[in-house]
Amino acid sequence: MTTESAAGRPAPTVDAVPASVLLALALLTLMWGVNWPVMKLGLREMTPLMFRAVTMSGGFVLLFIWYRLRGARLMLAQGELWRVAMLAAPNIVGWHALSIFGVEALASGRAAIVGFTMPIWTVLLSVVLFGERMQPRIWFATACAALAVVLLLWHELAHLSGNPAGVAWMLAAALSWATGTLLLKRVSLGASTEAMTLWMIGLAVPVIWLLALSIEPLPAAWPSPSGWVVIGYGALINYGIAQILWFSIARRLPPAASALSIMMIPLVGLASAMPLTGERPFVADYLAAILILVALSAVLLVGRRPRACHSSHDNRSR
């Protein structure tokens, strides 16, 4: 028996998805998870907004060239530009600017854990702003997420080298992402997902550059060879190849597979930080990661009807 998607088509099941697509999803999860400690490495040589500006610019160029070569429809209809700009503000500028300050202040794995409270905030904002019913599983998820944040805040406050402001940066970024997600669901656009993503990034790039040049000092030196590798990862992998890969498989994924990918990204970030940056997670980090995993499971996997995965922009790249 199959279930119907919101568009009236049978929603895909894991058994019906080719192994190559699931393998691509695993690779994508690895790319976006590893990106968290990679960002931390980049911040050793560049200021936060400058790092975002450079890598996002490179990713935009790669996406534009790829979609042009593929013949994708990239034009917006008349009157759609301002709506895309409205979506870009929380989805791209808000998330990417706020989260990079969080990564600067926190261990990268810890930043990923706090950042991935975003699906929980999405549900809570839906309850507050749109009157959706607060189900018991949402209360449970909220309690788990709140306890995770308290654990990480307690650890930051308990250590002289801690920076509780980093948790605030990441919570603000997660709220920005959640706001953007709600807008994406309620703003009607005729543009293709590729066009909308490209335009949102393209509109965000000059804003990030303006912020970087206005409030941060100019770089005193060119990046080292290893710094260029990190910049290349951010531009080519995080903003480029990962986005292309996502759009190539998104519509073929069952909701459960996509949700599991979301849950695994902060765990990959926590694990990959150890060999890449030398960060050593504390007990509080592991406990917080488990609590966020449980909370995301309650929000994303429990009590939801399967539906086709057709989000216009997932924004899991961080």
Please write the tens of the pLDDT for every residue from 11-39.
Answer: 555 556 788 888 999 999 999 999 999 99
| DSSP code string of 36-62 | HHHHHHHTTTS-HHHHHHHHHHHHHHH
Tokens 């597979």 belong to which residue? 257
**Considering only 78-82, 160-164, 230-234, which range has the smallest mean pLDDT?**
160-164
> Higher-confidence residue: 9 or 145?
145
> With bands split at pLDDT 50, 70 and 90, how would you rate the model's confidence at 253?
confident
Is 55 a residue whose pLDDT tops 70?
A: yes
Q: What is the mean pLDDT of the chain?
A: 87
Q: What is the pLDDT of residue 302?
A: 67
b/e per residue 242-260 (b: at least 16 CB within 10 A): bbebbbebbebbbbbbbbb
Residue 9 is given by DSSP the state S
**Structural domains counted in the chain:** 1
Give the Cα separation of 63 and 197 in Å (integer).
9
* C-beta separation of 111 from 36 below 8 A: yes
CA-closest candidate to residue 259, choices 271, 250, 248, 270: 250
Q: What is the pLDDT of residue 241?
A: 94
Q: What is the pLDDT of residue 26?
A: 93
- Please report which residue ranges of the chain form alpha helices under DSSP H: 19-42, 48-69, 81-88, 95-105, 108-115, 118-130, 136-158, 164-186, 193-215, 225-232, 242-249, 255-277, 283-300
Contacts of 106 (CB under 8 A, 6+ apart): 114, 156, 163, 166, 167, 170
Condensed to tens digits (0 to 9), the pLDDT of residues 186-199 reads: 888 888 888 999 99
Q: What is the pLDDT of residue 8?
A: 44
Give the Cα separation of 258 and 263 in Å (integer).
9
Q: What is the pLDDT of residue 13?
A: 57
Residue 124 lies in a domain: yes
Give the Cα separation of 272 and 266 in Å (integer).
10
Is 176 a residue whose pLDDT tops 90?
A: yes
Is 309 a residue whose pLDDT tops 50?
A: no
Is 9 a residue whose pLDDT tops 80?
A: no
Condensed to tens digits (0 to 9), the pLDDT of residues 276-290 reads: 999 988 899 999 999
Is 243 a residue whose pLDDT tops 50?
A: yes
Residue 312 lies in a domain: no
At residue 10, the 3 state secondary structure works out as strand
> Higher-confidence residue: 16 or 122?
122
> Higher-confidence residue: 298 or 101?
101
- pLDDT above 70: percentage of residues in the chain: 88
Tokens 């986005």 belong to which residue? 243
Residue 112 lies in a domain: yes
Residue 310 lies in a domain: no
> Higher-confidence residue: 79 or 205?
205
Contacts of 165 (CB under 8 A, 6+ apart): 105
Give the Cα separation of 160 and 156 in Å (integer).
8
Contacts of 178 (CB under 8 A, 6+ apart): 118, 119, 121, 122, 124, 125
> With bands split at pLDDT 50, 70 and 90, how would you rate the model's confidence at 236?
very high
The domain containing residue 272 runs over which residues? 14-218+234-300
Residue 27 lies in a domain: yes
Residue 103 lies in a domain: yes
> With bands split at pLDDT 50, 70 and 90, how would you rate the model's confidence at 87?
very high
What is the mean pLDDT of the segment spanning 228-257? 90
